[in-house]
Structure 1
């Protein structure tokens, strides 16, 4: 069974994904004021193709919504998902105006 959790310490942390008590993936994040920045998403090779990156993203977005945070998607995976599905993520997507 897969479980996810957000672990923060001193404004930096991870969104962690476990499969049967084994760490299967993570997102590197930081939270400063009302911005949650996601830098990197990683799923271990043995778990690739199981939709685990999407589970991590779901936990990230839920955490942001629950804590009134805007997500700065520096991670290429998260940014691509936000661009593909803007209606799903507009409420939490922090867009830098050029």
Structure 2
């Protein structure tokens, strides 16, 4: 399991990241907006391809949202696809009312 950390600046922008030896190998870019976490983008290095890292990033983001009682706006195509395929699993955190 990769070590995933949340890095946020004072403005509420940042990412869930996987870094190794100073190199960012994966990230899920987010921003906080009111009672929502906007997920913009997910990217995983070829070095970690096929290891389920994107899913691990999503699991961490969803856990954070649940722990902080916030909703997720899924602008990232990967996250939106996962929410659409598994709506019951994410119903409590998915802000479906947001339209991009």
TM over 0.5: yes
SS of alignment partner, residue 2 of structure 1 = coil
CA distance in 2, matches of 1:95, 1:23: 30
Unpaired runs of 5+ in structure 1?
A: none
CA RMSD in angstroms, aligned pairs only: 1.9
Q: Which moved more, 1:7-16 or 1:18-27?
A: 18-27
Aligned to 1:24: 25
Aligned to 2:87: 86
Aligned to 1:96: 97
Unpaired runs of 5+ in structure 2?
A: none
Aligned to 1:56: 57
TM-score, structure 2 as length reference: 0.89
Q: Which moved more, 1:49-58 or 1:11-20?
A: 11-20
Q: Given the superposition, is the C-alpha separation of residues 32 and 79 from structure 1 closer, same or farther in structure 2, using an over 3 Å criterion? A: same
Aligned to 1:5: 5
Count of residue pairs brought into register by the alignment: 98
Aligned to 2:48: 47
TM-score, structure 1 as length reference: 0.91
SS of alignment partner, residue 15 of structure 2 = strand
Q: Given the superposition, is the C-alpha separation of residues 20 and 86 from structure 1 closer, same or farther in structure 2, using an over 3 Å criterion? A: farther
Whether the 8 Å contact between 1:28 and 1:40 is mirrored in structure 2 is: yes
Q: CA deviation at 1:80?
A: 0.1
